């Protein structure tokens, strides 16, 4: 299966696409959609939407996954994150790709084995699981790959349970 993982952010939205059988994972693409903080917010959302649409067309993932909303003390930040997530959910739905959501705790537990892992630990485990020569430089892209790995692992486990 091919999975698109998305790590939403208004300044930087990370994406990671993997090919996986649920146990072995291979990176197909990863990167960050960067927006101009000085641009009107609706233009930033449009850029994120257009780039996600391009990724969906180019890589044709079977599934997509996003990280759920985390608690934020800053209401403005939480609202902007929610709007970016809404754009990502809409674009994935438009493409007809099944979508799953995972909490940060679920992603970290699935990838690192510890739900309170630091970003550096996530980056190192993503590197290890994908058998990369070096860590993914962008934390946002590494987080998106972690979301994709989490989903591939969950899907494979669900399929094995259904067969049993």
Give catalytic residue positions.
Answer: 7, 67, 140
Identify the residue whose tokens are 């999975």: 3
SS (H, E, C) 19-67: EECCCCEEEEEEEEEECCCCCCHHHHHHHHHHHHHHHHHHHCCCEEEEE
Contacts of 11 (CB under 8 A, 6+ apart): 34, 35, 37
How distant, in Å, are the alpha carbons of 14, 63, 88, 133, 134 from that of 161? 31, 19, 30, 34, 34
The answer to whether 122 touches 113, Cβ cutoff 8 Å, is: no
Alpha-carbon span 22 to 140, nearest angstrom: 22
Q: Beta 99-102 vs 12-20: how paired, if at all?
A: unpaired
| Residues shown for the chain | 164
């Amino acid at each position: 299966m091919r999975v698109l993982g998305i790590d939403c952010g208004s300044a930087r939205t990370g994406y990671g696409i993997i090919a996986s059988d649920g146990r072995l994972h291979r990176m197909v693409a990863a990167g960050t959609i960067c927006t101009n903080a000085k641009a009107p917010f609706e233009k930033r959302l449009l850029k994120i939407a257009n780039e996600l649409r391009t990724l969906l067309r180019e890589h044709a993932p079977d599934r997509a996954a996003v990280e759920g909303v985390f608690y934020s003390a800053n209401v403005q930040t939480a609202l902007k994150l929610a709007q970016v997530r809404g754009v990502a959910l809409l674009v994935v739905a438009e493409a007809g790709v099944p979508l799953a959501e995972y909490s940060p705790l679920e992603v970290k537990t699935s990838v690192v084995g510890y739900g309170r892992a630091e970003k550096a630990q996530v980056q190192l485990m993503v590197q290890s699981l994908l058998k990369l020569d070096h860590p993914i430089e962008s934390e946002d892209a590494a987080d998106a790959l972690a979301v994709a790995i989490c989903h591939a692992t969950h899907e494979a486990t669900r399929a094995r349970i259904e067969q049993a």
